[in-house]
Amino acid sequence: MKGNIVLIGFMGSGKTTVGKILAKELNAYFADSDQMIEEKEGMTIPDIFEKFGEAYFRELEEATIRSILKGDNIVVSTGGGAVLNKKLFEYIKSNAKVIHLESSIDSLWNRIKNCTNRPLLYSDNPRRRMEELYKERLPIYQEAHYNVITDNKKPIDVAREIVQILNS
């Protein structure tokens, strides 16, 4: 594979799971920006949010993703909010093939409703908060080069669908 692939999408859309499989299918490296930030900072993302705030996290996220994309032959899984930074998203689109993993609100909710590590959902009504964020972000996600629906598909099938798209 030549170049980089960046997977974007809402939390719970399968970016990390599909990304690992896709990297294996393409004989590429895999990088998860959230995981790299946690390793570098020595704390979880919820702890970073709590201690330093979202703005600080977004700065770390931008620096991490820009650094990853200096490499080649990498499949990158980003955090769900990375694309909210317009400058960063333009950089991503010009330095990688961007694939949006799209899932329905119900599918996403079923995957993340029991997660305790989603700081943006810490609220009195996490489902409503999730729906608000999803509606806000969906038009941005749809600016990706490719859009792949993940509902009712196994991660391996989503990865293979991406391989087909990239080879066509």
Q: What is the pLDDT of residues 13-55, one digit of tens each?
A: 999 999 999 999 999 999 999 999 999 999 998 899 889 998 9
pLDDT at position 122 over 60: yes
Q: Which residues of 72-100 are buried (b: 16+ CB within 10 A; e: fewer)?
A: eebbbbbbbbbbbbeebbeebbebbbbbb
Q: Are 76 and 69 in contact (CB under 8 A)?
A: yes
For residue 150, the SS3 value is coil
59-68, 104-113, 120-129, 154-163: which has the minimum mean pLDDT? Answer: 120-129
Average pLDDT, the chain: 91
Q: Which pLDDT score is estimated for 2?
A: 78
6-15, 114-123, 148-157: which has the minimum mean pLDDT? Answer: 114-123
Q: Which pLDDT score is estimated for 167?
A: 92
At the topology level, CATH places domain 5-167 in Rossmann fold (3.40.50)
Half-sphere exposure of 126 (CA within 13 A, CB side): 16
Angstrom distance (rounded) from CA 162 to CA 141: 16
Short-list 102, 82, 108, CA closest to 93? 82
Q: Which pLDDT score is estimated for 1?
A: 63
Angstrom distance (rounded) from CA 15 to CA 9: 7
Q: Which pLDDT score is estimated for 139?
A: 95
Phi and psi torsions of 166, nearest 5°: -70, -30
Q: Look-up: residue for tokens 């330095």?
A: 95
| Mean pLDDT along residues 129-146 | 93
Confidence of residue 110 (pLDDT cuts 50, 70, 90): confident
